[in-house]
Structure 1
Amino acid sequence: MKLHIRDIKHLFIKSNDLADDLLFDSSGINTDSRTFKGNEIFLALEGDKYDGNNFIDDILKQKPLFFITNKEQDCTARYAVVESGKKFLIELSKLILKKLSLTKVAITGSNGKTTTKDLIVHFLKNKFNDDTVLFTRGNYNNEIGLPLSILQSQGTEKFAVFEIGTNHPGEIIHLADIIRPNISIITNIGDAHIGNFGSKEKIAEEKKQIFHFLKTNEFKIINKDDEYFQILNQSPGKTFCISNNSDNLDVLSFKYCGLNIIELAYQSQSIRIKFQLTGQHNLQNFAMACAALINMGIDFQDLEKYFGNFESTNGRFKKYIFKENVELIDDSYNSNPSSLISAIDHINQSEKNKILIIGDMGELGELTDQYHRQIIEKISKTKINVVLTMGEAFKAAINRIDGNAILNLSTHEDLLDKALPAIKKDTIILVKASRFMGFENIVSQLKRQLQ
């Protein structure tokens, strides 16, 4: 968004050589010295393990438009001093949202946030124009990433769709305060980051803070079938439900009809939509997206018109098909017990030769051993032909159960050496692990070998 210095001057403690009428673009604010280009604005963020102020000398060599810091500077360049780089970023993002006339959607949940967000954004861009939608970029869903996404505004948007994540208590309400959404969604309550919360009930209590700022006529969207529905529903806002098991006409019901067709029913209307996503869990994500669109004023019958060419984001249950009917599902972006169980159920339903490649799940705290044992026990009862694991938690959990040989290997190369010879005609391969395991590299190697 185009702004003048006078618009943000109240956020400065002091400034040097910054005229009130100096025009700049908020999308030109860069916090990463590695990608900084001349004539951008450098914002020096300070953190526990880094301090952007250490790179100001290097930035000055590239001739920034100006820079923003929390420390006094002895230089003649244009700059501003603020109390905190992070606080400035948050306040600037709030200012930008106030200048826009937007319908704002906020999404959280243990699984499915990004896919739900991507579906809504895809629909809106196809029905309207690219420049009418402001949205979370990549995985920018925390207290730094969310404001940076907002700063990308061009000032033309009519809709905003943001996902917000949390890995510790108290985070959601601060992110919701930045957005002040008109529609809030909780996709589900699972066990992601449970080690930082202690229980799923506490995760539910944290997640429902996304509803805190809703007005009485603004919508909260919840899955009526969720185990924690009652906890989530005890919050501000007007409830709008989805369900896979309801005859209530005011509930958006959904069911899978086979052949990648999903049926939606709402207020005596029903439609069938070609469903491009892989996995039963994505039915719920799709229904959540449609519920949001209905409450954004989209006609129910229009829902079948604009999803046709949607594709999953890399690493999020994205399917690739190769010669001889070999199917690779890339779910390498992250993993937690509930999403991994869903992935195992999906591959186990296939009639193909089945190869499962999984890595450790993170942030489970004292429950790490328990959850990894549960996964191994579940796998032992499936018909999956080859199971390859990596990581210390799975190593501790593995033994031979009912004749199922589940291997634990030390490196990506070892996993590939075992997986590649097992691939034959009519094979499905699923790759999934927590982010720190770096399993996107395994996916890249498999794609290269299979092409």
Structure 2
Amino acid sequence: MNAARALLRQWPLDPRDALPLSLWDAASIAAATGGRASHAFQASGVEMDSRDVRPGDVFVALKGEAMDGHKFIPAAFAKGAVAAITDRPVDFPHVLVKDTTAALHALAHAARERSGAVRIAVTGSVGKTGVKEAIFTALDRASRGAAHRSVRSYNNHVGVPLSLARLPARAQFGVFEMGMNHQGEIAPLADHVRPHVALITTIAPAHIENLGSMEAIADEKSQIFTGLVEGGTAIIPADSEYADRMIANARGLGVKVVTFGRSAHADVRLLDAIPSANGGSLVTADLGTARLCYSVAEPGEHWVANSLGVMAAVRAAGGDLASAGLALAEMGGLKGRGARFSIEAAGGKALLVDESYNANPASMRATLKALGQTPAHRRIAVLGSMKELGDFAEGFHAQLADPLQDAKIDHVILVGDEMRALAAELGRRSANSLGFAPQFAHCQTPVEAIAALDDFGLIHGDAVLVKGSNSVGLGRLVSHYTSAPS
């Protein structure tokens, strides 16, 4: 009994147990930001959008070019905010600072410094949100809920510091997504996070309109390595045409490099991948010191490659590879990024695959190939325009005719102006080809696409892929058939 009491008196046994349970309190926010708190409070979250505030959040009243968050302070408190970070006195509990954006950055850096979490950063032209979620799920399982990650696609100059400001003091891992549209955007995000591990999923012509070349995209993505802490690890896709360029960029910074892919020289190398009964894959990988066999629930060869990057990141972060294998086996598709629905069709049910959040030439080809491998009575693709391709747009859209034919897609509904080039190419092939050529229709809006799909008529056993850039709005079509929130 005395020994037990002595042990209790030694509490906490784990240094993390001495850290606060609340995310932030008034004093810690004031200390981090150099501000002045009007009241004492404790906060369980940080939010910048009054519509998303939950009870217990502190609301950061950011000021943009077109909008001032201070206007939404009453709405934030009506939804349960306990305090706000403001640049002027208000009639609510608040921390007064000189600049709310600078205060958010300061809060993010304070969260980073107080936590002993291993931080993982993820970027890439394709697949970064799914890979981020897979790494998080693996580490969260292994740490029994002590992992944190960016929610949704909070991956820009506001979303990254907000996600970092939400990092709990007791977290063991933090996974952060980083995106860009223009040159010079990745390095500041990496500097916020200061990751221990930084992963690039792949390089593809997303945002080539603004970057100008594939080499420039590879160089900009490589800027994620500039934020790595001393002794950090850069994880690079060995199968990329630009792998050597990214490896050189990383080694020029003096960081450790780990590659993944099918290449014979990859550090995490695919040995075998066979289709599994649930539509995913059974993967065998060589990690250099060991071989690992695991299942990937997500269909498609691109997810086989993604899984290798996940394993490389989990190992570099000191996570558990067995937990990573279980996480990959159980992961379902994310909304707009591979979620699968059973929908009503004549005579029974049809499969709808929701890829409506984003699209570029590489992801289009990957998902069309996956659709071609999906068991189905007929395969239908609803494809929205791919944005931010600039002068390359017409060519990249027309080039989708080959993957459509290779996948033997039975019917295609094309949505948006940029899809005219693909419609013209498919029209030429329908008129001239003696081989397979899909039927197609071209329209301008999601509403017209719904009507076109209804006119075509879904029947039992059909599989429908819905994919396009988010601005095309094909999420509305998905909602129409699934009754899911848009």
The two structures share one fold, judged by TM-score above 0.5? yes
Amino acid across the alignment from 2:448: D
What residue in structure 2 maps to residue 121 of structure 1? 136
CA RMSD between the two structures: 2.8
What residue in structure 1 maps to residue 226 of structure 2? 212
What residue in structure 1 maps to residue 174 of structure 2? 160
Contact 1:31 1:44 in 2 (8 A): yes
Whether 2:228 is the aligned partner of 1:194: answer no
Deviation (angstroms), 1:322? 5.8
Whether 2:373 is the aligned partner of 1:342: answer no
Q: How many Å separate the matches in 1 of 2:34 and 2:154?
A: 28
What residue in structure 2 maps to residue 246 of structure 1? 264
Whether 2:476 is the aligned partner of 1:441: answer yes
Contact 1:380 1:402 in 2 (8 A): no
Alignment of 1:144-183 (within 5 A): 144-183=158-197
User: Secondary structure at the residue paired with 2:419?
Assistant: helix
Distance 1:426-1:143 versus aligned 2 partners, 3 A rule: same
Distance 1:216-1:333 versus aligned 2 partners, 3 A rule: same
Distance 1:36-1:348 versus aligned 2 partners, 3 A rule: closer
What residue in structure 2 maps to residue 327 of structure 1? 351
What residue in structure 2 maps to residue 7 of structure 1? 28
Deviation (angstroms), 1:99? 0.4
Distance 1:396-1:298 versus aligned 2 partners, 3 A rule: closer
Distance 1:201-1:83 versus aligned 2 partners, 3 A rule: farther
Q: Which moved more, 1:320-329 or 1:56-65?
A: 56-65
User: Secondary structure at the residue paired with 1:398?
Assistant: helix
Whether 2:406 is the aligned partner of 1:406: answer no
Deviation (angstroms), 1:396? 5.0
2:316 to 295, 298, 301: 295
Alignment of 1:257-406 (within 5 A): 257-259=274-276, 260-298=281-319, 300=321, 303-321=324-342, 326-350=350-374, 352=376, 353-376=378-401, 378-379=403-404, 383-399=408-424, 400-403=427-430, 404=437, 405-406=439-440
Contact 2:167 2:174 in 1 (8 A): no
What residue in structure 2 maps to residue 108 of structure 1? 123
Deviation (angstroms), 1:300? 4.8
What residue in structure 2 maps to residue 229 of structure 1? 243
What 5-or-longer segments of structure 1 have no aligned partner?
A: none
Q: How many Å separate the matches in 1 of 2:77 and 2:327?
A: 46
Contact 2:84 2:95 in 1 (8 A): yes
Count of aligned pairs: 441
Q: How many Å separate the matches in 2 of 1:253 and 1:435?
A: 32
Whether 2:61 is the aligned partner of 1:44: answer yes
Q: How many Å separate the matches in 1 of 2:330 and 2:405?
A: 37
Whether 2:38 is the aligned partner of 1:17: answer yes
Deviation (angstroms), 1:377? 5.7
Q: Which moved more, 1:100-109 or 1:395-404?
A: 395-404
Q: Which moved more, 1:419-428 or 1:298-307?
A: 298-307
Deviation (angstroms), 1:423? 2.4
What residue in structure 1 maps to residue 71 of structure 2? 54
What 5-or-longer segments of structure 2 have no aligned partner?
A: 1-21, 431-436
Deviation (angstroms), 1:208? 0.5
Whether 2:440 is the aligned partner of 1:419: answer no
Amino acid across the alignment from 2:261: S
Contact 1:359 1:390 in 2 (8 A): yes
Deviations 1:65-95 (A, max 9, x none): 443223x44x565444433222211110110
Amino acid across the alignment from 2:446: H
User: Secondary structure at the residue paired with 2:329?
Assistant: coil
Deviation (angstroms), 1:347? 2.1
Q: How many Å separate the matches in 1 of 2:481 and 2:144?
A: 36
Deviations 1:248-297 (A, max 9, x none): 6x444353123221111122532321220111111111111111111122
Q: How many Å separate the matches in 2 of 1:59 and 1:306?
A: 35
Amino acid across the alignment from 1:394: M
Q: Which moved more, 1:363-372 or 1:298-307?
A: 298-307
Contact 1:183 1:219 in 2 (8 A): yes
Distance 1:166-1:384 versus aligned 2 partners, 3 A rule: same
Deviations 1:165-219 (A, max 9, x none): 1111111111111110000000011111111111111111111111113245321
Q: How many Å separate the matches in 2 of 1:306 and 1:61?
A: 38
Deviation (angstroms), 1:310? 1.7
User: Secondary structure at the residue paired with 1:168?
Assistant: coil
Contact 1:278 1:319 in 2 (8 A): no
Contact 1:142 1:165 in 2 (8 A): yes
Deviations 1:375-422 (A, max 9, x none): 246535652210101111113552212214431123333323332444
TM-score, scaled to structure 1: 0.88
Deviation (angstroms), 1:424? 2.6
Q: State, as a whole percentage, how many aligned pairs show the same letter.
A: 26
Q: How many Å separate the matches in 2 of 1:269 and 1:448?
A: 46
Q: How many Å separate the matches in 1 of 2:153 and 2:368?
A: 24
TM-score, scaled to structure 2: 0.83
Distance 1:101-1:409 versus aligned 2 partners, 3 A rule: same
Q: How many Å separate the matches in 2 of 1:242 and 1:35?
A: 37
What residue in structure 1 maps to residue 5 of structure 2? none
Amino acid across the alignment from 2:393: T
User: Secondary structure at the residue paired with 2:428?
Assistant: coil
Distance 1:46-1:226 versus aligned 2 partners, 3 A rule: same
Amino acid across the alignment from 1:374: Q
Distance 1:79-1:279 versus aligned 2 partners, 3 A rule: same
Deviations 1:26-64 (A, max 9, x none): x44332233456775332111122111233466678896
User: Secondary structure at the residue paired with 2:63?
Assistant: coil
Q: How many Å separate the matches in 2 of 1:62 and 1:318?
A: 30
Distance 1:355-1:204 versus aligned 2 partners, 3 A rule: same
Deviations 1:327-357 (A, max 9, x none): 3221111111111121222223456311110
